[in-house]
Amino acid sequence: MRIEKDTMGEIEVPNDALWGAQTARSLQNFKIGKEKMPKEIIQSFAILKRSAAIINNDLGKLDNEKTRVIVLSCDEILESLHDGEFPLSLWQTGSGTQTNMNVNEVISSIATNILGGDFKSKKLIHPNDDVNMSQSSNDTFPTAMHIAAVIGIEDKLLPRLKVLIETLDAKAKKYMDIIKIGRTHLQDATPLSLGQEISGWAMMLQKSYAMIESSLLHVRELALGGTAVGTGLNAHPEFGQRVAKEISRFTCKDFITAPNKFHALTSHDALVFSHGALKALAADMMKIANDVRWLSSGPRCGIGELKIPANEPGSSIMPGKINPTQAEAVTMVTCQVFGNDTTIALAASQGNFELNVFKPVLINAYLQSLRLLSDVIKSFNDNCMVGLEPIKDRIDFNLHNSLMLVTALNPYIGYENAANIAKNAYEKGISLKESAMEFNLLSEEEFDNIIKPEQMIIPKA
């Protein structure tokens, strides 16, 4: 162990740890749970710290050598060379102050080493005065939250969602001529094509894609430049705007400085709104997964119209059983996302006066939803939807045994007469055609000309 000092006094720190006193105090004071600060937040902090150093240098506040080593240190963090140096619990101060200082201390030590010094004896780059220059935890943590959200959605979630949409679009086109019975209320309805049904799934996800993309509009606003309470104390008036441009340049993402820093520190409505779009995607994924497992149920004693890939044995006792495991994974993820949405809404509604102090739990829930949806969408696409196939014989059997084909007779014999034919067929266990002939309302030839499922899937004048 070595002894480190901060404004609270001395404290022991593991000898080889790059972090210092404030990280040590957090480890000592917050032995809560197993959840750690998400790596995405640490990486986003590295992005903002390097950007802040560059702009402070441009503004004449930080010299060239200090700027150089701070940037190099941040780049090492971004390359995941020091992941073990960020051990803090998620359950810490609600502003994320300890994580901000954890990052500052690690950057300080790396930079000191680059300069040829010994971080264990003297920091040549000060964690507060140099690394944290023009910043406060109160504006850096919400900035990191927004950076992590935008990068995660644009680089991971949306590309994977696009692939699933493409899979569904291809299936919709391929199966557009396979006519099947529709179902509403879990009961037989009028026909449609399998392609039409799948096109509905694809459109759900296209809408979700657009909503998620548009929800980033306000997440692109960064709080940096507000410092402690939104006034920008100890920061140059141009600092926030110029850092946002530098972050945009470095990440190749669009960011702007928040127009009102008092709002940016105390409110997280942008993330609430954005997670609402993730929740909408989760709801659509739940619906699609449930449709897939209903339609593939059986395979002989259920609906059995779709064949899902046989990825693994489905039972430890029943040989040959195949279960819709990918659909089950989707539905479990969506339950977690729904729960995260409640956590985010509650967290965003709290805090007092100039600062929301529920930031770590809020961004952890958001990022978990983002990760889970990204991963499960890829898994569902690759391990289920790509290999999904129709069982044509079963589809045709169900189609021609449905009583709801009688709907096509409405314009010719009226709703009540058609209903009587269907009811009679159901009660006697006979076909619609046999039932219709008993009522003598139309000829056998007329019945055959009207009841054509392939003509019932589009509007008719």
Which of 127, 113, 115 shows the shortest CA–CA distance to 53?
A: 127
Percent composition of the chain: helix, strand, coil (DSSP 3-state, to 5): 60, 10, 30
SS3 343: helix
Beta strands in 352-426 (DSSP E): 389-390
Q: What angle do CA 286, 371, 158 make, to 5 degrees?
A: 75
- Choose, from 315, 349, 379, 431, the residue flagged as catalytic: 315
For residue 102, the one-letter residue type is: N
Which of 444, 445, 454, 408 shows the shortest CA–CA distance to 189?
A: 408
Read off the tokens for 211: 């909503």
- Cα 121 from Cα 351, distance rounded (Å): 39
For the chain, what is the largest distance between any 2 Cα atoms, rounded to a whole number of angstroms? 102
Q: What is the DSSP letter of 81?
A: S
DSSP 2-48: EEEEETTEEEEE-TT-S--HHHHHHHHH----S-B--HHHHHHHHHH
Contact 182/191 with Cβ under 8 angstroms? yes
Which of 69, 142, 135, 144 shows the shortest CA–CA distance to 107?
A: 69
SS3 16: coil
Residue 130's CB: how many other CB atoms inside 10 A?
23
- Choose, from 51, 95, 108, 185, the residue flagged as catalytic: 185
Which of 277, 280, 366, 382 shows the shortest CA–CA distance to 329?
A: 382
Q: Let me know if 315 is a catalytic residue.
A: yes
Residues marked as catalytic: 185, 315
